Amino acid sequence: MKPDVMVMRCGLLALLLAVVPTVRADEGRATRAEVDAVFDQVVARYRLPGLALGIVEDGKVVYARTAGELVEGEGRRIDSATLFKIASNTKSMTTATLARLVDAGKLHWDDPVVRWLPDFRMYDPWVGREMQVRDLLIHNSGLRAGAGDLMLWPEPNTFTRADIIHGLGYLKPQRSFRAGYDYDNLLYIVAGEVAAAAGGAPYEQLVRREVFEPLGMRRCQVGQWRRDEIGNVAQPHMRQGDRNIPVRSDGDVIAATTMDPAGGIRCSLDDMLAWVGNWLKPVGEGKGEKPWLSREQREALWAPQMPMPLSRRMREWDNSHFSAYGYGWRLADVDGTFKVSHTGTLMGMYSMVTLLPDKRTGFVILINGEGEQARTVLGQVLVKRYTRPDPSLTVAHYADLLAQEDAKRPATEKAPDTSKRKAVKPGELESRLGVYRDPWFGEVSLCRDGDAARLRASKSPMLTGIVQRVGKRMLVNWDDDSVDAEAWLDFPQGTQMRMSKVDPDADFSYDFEDLAFERVRGCD
């Protein structure tokens, strides 16, 4: 490890110890009636199609409750065995799998990635040679947040893990390697392939063997499986007016996906409470019991590996003094209490895992609808019950704060008004029609479709839409409403085509800005 990195990590550990005092485990307990009230308020305020919530205290599940339906309006109720997409909460299971391999002597955190994947490279060849396994996990690559995520989402698409490894070599960084934090998904795909190479089995088999089976997470699914054989699977929803509409619903066969190591696992509330209970259990608890993970590797996973920005919200809401990323976990202090957490977000699915290790307490939140604000508010109210009990810190209090934040956002950070739009006639784009290629995303066609011009991505079939004009600019109106980030379309010069998000606040995984298309031929 480089000396400056060692100094940074030691300094962060010292800060962590300084700001997180020892807290008695019996301080700050929420009653069932209190949590029931919070649960009901969140479901009502955000009109969620489904919610599952669980709390672990001192090694025991003290609260587990569900509401809603697998598919709204169809009558099949969600229960504690219902499977939800946990999205990026998968990352901590991927890092746990790697840690098990480290414990077994099959892998080291500072192994060069090219030791296990000789074809791995980054845009800067030096970075590709120097990148270690640990670097794959802590969002320090120098790439833009979400760079290359269009190879993962929207699903389904035909990008493979080999495509990911190849494509990384064409993604230009926005800052120096190890210079700062920018959230990344692609390198977790690489981490899954490193685990497969070191562990001698595909990623999906490894995570079942190293995580699901030893921890009793019996319902968790990854890789290919059949929906009706497993049963009881929540479907994602999007909000349309006053209704929750199922979106990207599962077929009979759920295929293994390229993005599995970054966000492809599904688990039930029961499974996730077993997961949380494991992390709150002292190492070696139980006479003669061999720990699932050594103390050294547990500490490595929760050690601050990369500083994260300390947001104004964290300072004002939580009196936080530090924020960092471990291996697959976010670390912070809340009112003087150490917090370990992560969120998960996919179209129509939101999750959260929060641990307060000093209080031996943890929470799980699973939602099968558009639940970003609901997740934030529910997680915040629950944490405060343990770190700073105050009857004024209610669902309404935090929901109102979020509304105030949105109202104060400058116009430059909000989506422009594009309501006055009309379809572009192919003749208006005659000199621009053709097939374009980006070195990592592949080909898209911009061609005549009747009286309109249509853009189609060859490897991502959901990215197809009609070109429309708004004033002097053009955008792509995607056919599928679940693709919820429209893209500006620009032709800077010659044979070039560029894209960018219409809404600056759209999910960063719509990384249109990383595309650099060149026209390669005319329309077929």
Residue-wise pLDDT for 317-367, tens only, equals: 999 999 999 999 999 999 999 999 999 999 999 999 999 999 999 999 999
- pLDDT value of residue 412: 82
Q: Does residue 217 register a pLDDT over 60?
A: yes
For residues 218 and 81, give the distance between their C-alpha atoms in angstroms, rounded to a whole number.
10
Q: Does residue 474 register a pLDDT over 70?
A: yes
What do you get for the CA distance between the two ends of the chain, in Å? 53
For residues 61 and 324, give the distance between their C-alpha atoms in angstroms, rounded to a whole number.
28
SS3 for 373?
helix
Residue 345 and residue 372 in contact, taking contact as beta carbons nearer than 8 Å: yes
Residue-range domain boundaries for the chain: 3-97+201-285+293-408, 422-521
Token pair listed for 130:
């120097």
Work out the pLDDT band at 211, boundaries 50, 70, 90: very high
Residues 6+ positions from 386 with CB-CB distance below 8 Å: 27, 28, 29, 30, 337, 356, 359, 361
Token pair listed for 166:
């190849």
Residue 430 and residue 423 in contact, taking contact as beta carbons nearer than 8 Å: no
- Name the CA radius of gyration of the chain, rounded: 23
Type of residue numbered 262: A
Rounded to 5 degrees, what angle do the CA atoms 278, 281, 286 make?
105
For residues 19 and 317, give the distance between their C-alpha atoms in angstroms, rounded to a whole number.
16
DSSP-derived secondary structure letter, 480: S
Burial class (CB in 10 A: 0-12, 13-18, 19+), 47: middle
DSSP-derived secondary structure letter, 275: H
For residues 393 and 180, give the distance between their C-alpha atoms in angstroms, rounded to a whole number.
33
pLDDT by residue (tens digit) across 444-458? 999 999 999 999 999
For residues 62 and 53, give the distance between their C-alpha atoms in angstroms, rounded to a whole number.
11
Q: Give the CATH fold of the 422-521 domain.
A: Lipocalin (2.40.128)
The answer to whether the peptide bond before residue 492 is cis (omega within 30 degrees of 0) is: no
Residue 113 and residue 129 in contact, taking contact as beta carbons nearer than 8 Å: no
Strands (E), 311-426: 323-325, 330-334, 337-346, 349-356, 361-367, 422-423
pLDDT by residue (tens digit) across 154-195? 999 999 999 999 999 999 999 999 999 999 999 999 999 999
Work out the average pLDDT over 91-116.
98
CA-nearest of 140, 162, 126 to 4 is 140
Mean pLDDT of the chain: 93
Strands 337-346 and 349-356: antiparallel
Residue 489 and residue 476 in contact, taking contact as beta carbons nearer than 8 Å: yes
Task: Please name the helix (run of DSSP H) or strand (run of DSSP E) that holds residue 269, with its range, or none.
Answer: helix 269-280
Work out the pLDDT band at 524, boundaries 50, 70, 90: confident
Decide which of 254 and 12 is more confident. 254
Which superfamily does CATH assign the domain made up of 3-97+201-285+293-408 to? DD-peptidase/beta-lactamase superfamily (3.40.710.10)
Type of residue numbered 38: V
- Note the pTM of the prediction, 2 decimals: 0.93
Work out the pLDDT band at 10, boundaries 50, 70, 90: very low
For residues 511 and 184, give the distance between their C-alpha atoms in angstroms, rounded to a whole number.
11
Phi-psi region of 223 (alpha: psi -120 to 50; beta: other; left: phi over 0): left
- pLDDT value of residue 9: 44
For residues 139 and 134, give the distance between their C-alpha atoms in angstroms, rounded to a whole number.
10
Residues 6+ positions from 175 with CB-CB distance below 8 Å: 142, 182
